[in-house]
Amino acid sequence: MGVDRPVRVLVVDDDALVRAGLTMMLDGAAGISVVGEADDGDQVPAAADAHAPDVVLMDLRMPRVDGITATRRLRARQRPPEVIVLTTFDTDDNILHALRAGASGFLLKDTPPARIAEAVRQVAAGEPILSPRITRRLMDRVAVQAGAYTQARRALGVLSPREHDVVVAVGQGFTNAEIATELDMTLATVKSHVSHILTKLDLDNRTQLALLVHDAGLA
């Protein structure tokens, strides 16, 4: 974008009042121009073609095509606009799905107007943005996952190499018969290994064992 050209914004939300509020707020912000609106994700490709936005403010929950799908489709285009997801739903899955779909920002609808305008400018300049609350949630999730990984690795560290092979196969969903074939064991030996492993790890069943393998990053 040229220095003097405003950031072109497309507002996508199925709530007409929300669209009107965002449009009024952003059109009054320095260096930003709302060039179009859409009330569902299925309208986004045509709106992007018609208005050539630099940034799309994308709602998550819409009746026909949700914001995650619309974001993914936009970001697959040859010269895609940046996308900021703006939603009231801040679940971990929504955040991660939005970021994996290619969103450059994730803000909650209770974000102050001036902060939303600044986020639009930042994202247009190539700087991803997350609200502080979202950043903290992601940090907490990573910390939990890291802790589960460390604990799982430590637990599996007590197994012998052969038991470790059996555990990985269980985590990959193999049956006892398939494990016997894969590891060149008798079926009775596999059953004995599995029983012994469950006892050694103080687990009740194969499902718990498979989850442990997953937490350890081995399946």
In a domain, 180, yes or no: yes
HSE-up of residue 185 (Cα within 13 Å, Cβ side) = 21
The last residue of one of the domains, among 130, 162, 195, is 130
Count up the domains in the chain and report the number: 2
Dihedral sign, Cα of residue 165, residue 167, residue 172, residue 174 = positive
| pLDDT on residue 218 | 85
Residue 28, classed as helix, strand or coil, is coil
pLDDT in tens, 106-152: 888 888 999 999 999 989 988 878 776 766 666 666 666 677 888 88
111 and 211 belong to one structural domain: no
148 and 118 belong to one structural domain: no
| pLDDT on residue 1 | 52
| pLDDT on residue 90 | 66
Tokens linked to 185: 């064991």
104 and 149 belong to one structural domain: no
169 and 194 belong to one structural domain: yes
pLDDT, tens digit only, all 219 positions of the chain: 555 789 999 999 999 999 999 999 998 899 999 999 999 999 999 999 999 999 999 999 999 999 999 999 998 898 899 999 988 876 767 787 888 888 888 888 888 999 999 999 989 988 878 776 766 666 666 666 677 888 889 999 999 999 999 999 988 888 889 899 999 999 999 999 999 999 999 988 787 888 788 888 887
59 and 117 belong to one structural domain: yes
In a domain, 2, yes or no: no
In a domain, 94, yes or no: yes
pTM, two decimal places = 0.64
> DSSP letter at 145?
H
CATH code, domain with 106? 3.40.50.2300
In a domain, 60, yes or no: yes
Its domain, for residue 121, covers 7-130
78 and 145 belong to one structural domain: no
120 and 18 belong to one structural domain: yes
| pLDDT on residue 139 | 61
63 and 108 belong to one structural domain: yes
171 and 123 belong to one structural domain: no
